[in-house]
Protein backbone atom coordinates (compact mmCIF):
# COMPACT_ATOMS: atom_id res chain seq x y z
CA UNK A 1 0.00 0.00 0.00
CA UNK A 2 2.84 2.36 0.97
CA UNK A 3 4.65 1.46 -2.27
CA UNK A 4 1.58 2.32 -4.38
CA UNK A 5 1.20 5.68 -2.64
CA UNK A 6 4.88 6.50 -3.19
CA UNK A 7 4.66 5.50 -6.87
CA UNK A 8 1.62 7.74 -7.34
CA UNK A 9 3.43 10.51 -5.53
CA UNK A 10 6.37 10.29 -7.91
CA UNK A 11 4.20 9.73 -11.00
CA UNK A 12 4.66 13.28 -12.29
CA UNK A 13 8.40 13.05 -11.78
CA UNK A 14 8.56 9.83 -13.83
CA UNK A 15 6.37 11.33 -16.53
CA UNK A 16 8.65 14.40 -16.70
CA UNK A 17 11.70 12.14 -17.00
CA UNK A 18 9.91 10.16 -19.74
CA UNK A 19 9.40 13.46 -21.61
CA UNK A 20 13.13 14.18 -21.30
CA UNK A 21 13.97 10.71 -22.67
CA UNK A 22 11.48 11.38 -25.50
CA UNK A 23 13.29 14.65 -26.40
CA UNK A 24 16.63 12.83 -26.56
CA UNK A 25 15.02 10.06 -28.66
CA UNK A 26 13.65 12.67 -31.10
CA UNK A 27 17.14 14.14 -31.54
CA UNK A 28 18.59 10.68 -32.27
CA UNK A 29 15.78 9.57 -34.62
CA UNK A 30 15.68 12.91 -36.42
CA UNK A 31 19.41 12.66 -37.08
CA UNK A 32 19.06 9.15 -38.49
CA UNK A 33 15.94 9.41 -40.66
CA UNK A 34 16.01 11.35 -43.93
CA UNK A 35 17.70 11.33 -47.32
CA UNK A 36 21.46 11.76 -47.16
CA UNK A 37 24.05 12.14 -49.88
CA UNK A 38 27.78 11.49 -49.84
CA UNK A 39 30.12 12.84 -52.52
CA UNK A 40 33.36 11.03 -53.34
CA UNK A 41 35.98 12.83 -55.42
CA UNK A 42 39.08 11.02 -56.61
CA UNK A 43 41.92 13.01 -58.07
CA UNK A 44 45.52 11.87 -58.39
CA UNK A 45 44.86 8.57 -56.59
CA UNK A 46 43.39 10.33 -53.52
CA UNK A 47 39.75 9.66 -52.73
CA UNK A 48 38.01 12.31 -50.66
CA UNK A 49 34.72 11.57 -48.96
CA UNK A 50 32.43 14.53 -48.32
CA UNK A 51 29.83 13.72 -45.67
CA UNK A 52 26.42 15.47 -45.57
CA UNK A 53 27.37 17.16 -42.26
CA UNK A 54 30.11 19.08 -44.06
CA UNK A 55 27.60 21.05 -46.16
CA UNK A 56 25.80 22.34 -43.09
CA UNK A 57 28.71 24.60 -42.14
CA UNK A 58 27.71 28.21 -42.92
CA UNK A 59 30.85 29.10 -44.91
CA UNK A 60 30.66 25.98 -47.11
CA UNK A 61 27.39 27.04 -48.76
CA UNK A 62 29.23 29.94 -50.41
CA UNK A 63 32.56 28.34 -51.15
CA UNK A 64 31.95 24.65 -51.73
CA UNK A 65 34.49 21.89 -51.22
CA UNK A 66 37.95 22.48 -52.65
CA UNK A 67 39.87 19.78 -54.52
CA UNK A 68 43.26 20.34 -56.11
CA UNK A 69 44.38 18.42 -59.16
CA UNK A 70 46.94 18.45 -61.90
CA UNK A 71 46.06 19.79 -65.36
CA UNK A 72 45.34 16.99 -67.81
CA UNK A 73 44.35 14.45 -65.16
CA UNK A 74 40.81 12.99 -65.09
CA UNK A 75 38.75 13.43 -61.92
CA UNK A 76 36.39 10.69 -60.80
CA UNK A 77 33.13 11.41 -59.00
CA UNK A 78 30.88 9.10 -57.07
CA UNK A 79 27.56 10.27 -55.63
CA UNK A 80 25.86 8.05 -53.09
CA UNK A 81 22.29 8.59 -51.95
CA UNK A 82 21.05 6.95 -48.76
CA UNK A 83 17.30 6.80 -48.33
CA UNK A 84 16.50 6.33 -44.64
CA UNK A 85 12.77 6.89 -45.00
CA UNK A 86 9.79 4.56 -45.34
CA UNK A 87 8.99 5.57 -48.92
CA UNK A 88 10.76 5.32 -52.28
CA UNK A 89 12.78 8.44 -53.12
CA UNK A 90 13.04 9.26 -56.81
CA UNK A 91 14.73 12.30 -58.33
CA UNK A 92 17.17 13.50 -60.99
CA UNK A 93 20.89 13.54 -60.33
CA UNK A 94 22.54 16.30 -62.34
CA UNK A 95 26.19 17.22 -62.58
CA UNK A 96 27.65 20.04 -64.61
CA UNK A 97 30.91 21.94 -64.87
CA UNK A 98 30.97 25.73 -64.57
CA UNK A 99 33.49 28.54 -64.80
CA UNK A 100 32.91 32.26 -64.12
CA UNK A 101 29.17 31.66 -63.80
CA UNK A 102 28.91 30.00 -67.22
CA UNK A 103 27.99 26.40 -67.75
CA UNK A 104 30.62 24.61 -69.79
CA UNK A 105 29.17 21.12 -70.00
CA UNK A 106 26.49 18.88 -68.57
CA UNK A 107 28.30 15.87 -67.18
CA UNK A 108 25.37 13.81 -65.96
CA UNK A 109 21.59 13.82 -65.98
CA UNK A 110 20.13 10.63 -64.64
CA UNK A 111 16.97 9.63 -62.85
CA UNK A 112 17.63 7.70 -59.65
CA UNK A 113 15.14 5.74 -57.58
CA UNK A 114 16.14 4.61 -54.10
CA UNK A 115 14.11 2.03 -52.17
CA UNK A 116 13.35 2.61 -48.44
CA UNK A 117 16.44 2.09 -46.25
CA UNK A 118 18.62 1.36 -49.29
CA UNK A 119 21.23 3.36 -51.12
CA UNK A 120 22.14 4.06 -54.72
CA UNK A 121 25.39 5.22 -56.27
CA UNK A 122 26.00 7.19 -59.47
CA UNK A 123 29.47 7.53 -60.96
CA UNK A 124 30.95 9.75 -63.65
CA UNK A 125 34.33 10.93 -64.86
CA UNK A 126 35.46 14.45 -65.64
CA UNK A 127 37.82 14.24 -68.58
CA UNK A 128 40.35 17.00 -69.37
CA UNK A 129 38.58 17.67 -72.70
CA UNK A 130 35.32 18.41 -70.82
CA UNK A 131 36.87 21.64 -69.54
CA UNK A 132 36.83 23.18 -73.02
CA UNK A 133 40.43 24.44 -72.72
CA UNK A 134 43.62 22.92 -73.99
CA UNK A 135 46.05 24.95 -71.93
CA UNK A 136 46.13 26.52 -68.49
CA UNK A 137 47.52 29.80 -69.78
CA UNK A 138 50.21 31.96 -68.27
CA UNK A 139 49.11 31.72 -64.65
CA UNK A 140 49.35 27.94 -64.57
CA UNK A 141 46.30 27.81 -62.29
CA UNK A 142 42.54 27.74 -62.94
CA UNK A 143 39.42 26.93 -60.96
CA UNK A 144 36.23 25.22 -62.10
CA UNK A 145 33.03 24.46 -60.23
CA UNK A 146 31.28 21.12 -60.44
CA UNK A 147 27.64 21.50 -59.41
CA UNK A 148 25.90 18.34 -58.29
CA UNK A 149 22.15 18.51 -57.92
CA UNK A 150 19.71 16.00 -56.49
CA UNK A 151 16.21 17.37 -56.06
CA UNK A 152 16.47 20.39 -53.75
CA UNK A 153 20.03 19.52 -52.76
CA UNK A 154 22.93 21.25 -54.51
CA UNK A 155 26.60 20.55 -53.81
CA UNK A 156 29.51 22.57 -55.15
CA UNK A 157 32.97 21.12 -55.64
CA UNK A 158 35.67 23.62 -56.59
CA UNK A 159 38.34 22.00 -58.73
CA UNK A 160 41.67 23.83 -58.69
CA UNK A 161 43.82 22.84 -61.65
CA UNK A 162 47.52 23.59 -61.58
CA UNK A 163 50.34 22.82 -63.94
CA UNK A 164 52.88 20.19 -62.95
CA UNK A 165 56.11 22.07 -62.55
CA UNK A 166 59.18 20.12 -63.61
CA UNK A 167 61.60 19.53 -60.78
CA UNK A 168 64.90 21.30 -60.47
CA UNK A 169 67.51 20.16 -62.99
CA UNK A 170 69.94 17.73 -61.53
CA UNK A 171 73.11 19.34 -60.42
CA UNK A 172 76.31 17.75 -61.59
CA UNK A 173 79.38 17.31 -59.48
CA UNK A 174 81.09 20.70 -59.25
CA UNK A 175 84.15 20.81 -61.34
CA UNK A 176 87.38 21.19 -59.52
CA UNK A 177 88.79 24.64 -59.65
CA UNK A 178 92.53 25.03 -59.64
CA UNK A 179 93.76 26.34 -56.33
CA UNK A 180 95.78 29.47 -56.84
CA UNK A 181 99.34 28.99 -55.76
CA UNK A 182 100.87 31.49 -53.38
* Residues near another protein (CB under 8 A): 9-10, 12-13, 15-16, 19-20, 22-23, 26-27, 29-31, 34, 56
Q: Which is nearer to another protein, 1 or 5 (CB)?
A: 5
Minimum CB–partner distance for residue 82 and another protein (Å): 16
Minimum CB–partner distance for residue 126 and another protein (Å): 31
* Distance between CA atoms of residues 121 and 78, nearest Å: 7
Torsions phi, psi for 16 (to 5 deg): -65, -40
CB 80 within 8 A of CB 121: yes
Q: Which is nearer to another protein, 56 or 181 (CB)?
A: 56
Q: Which is nearer to another protein, 52 or 128 (CB)?
A: 52
Minimum CB–partner distance for residue 61 and another protein (Å): 14
Q: Which is nearer to another protein, 12 or 168 (CB)?
A: 12
Minimum CB–partner distance for residue 24 and another protein (Å): 10
Amino acid sequence: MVMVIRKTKNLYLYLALACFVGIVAIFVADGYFGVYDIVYVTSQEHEQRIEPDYWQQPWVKEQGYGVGTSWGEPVYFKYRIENRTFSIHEDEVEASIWRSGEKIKQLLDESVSVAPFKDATVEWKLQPEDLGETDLGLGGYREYTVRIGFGDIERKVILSYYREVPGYPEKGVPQSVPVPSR
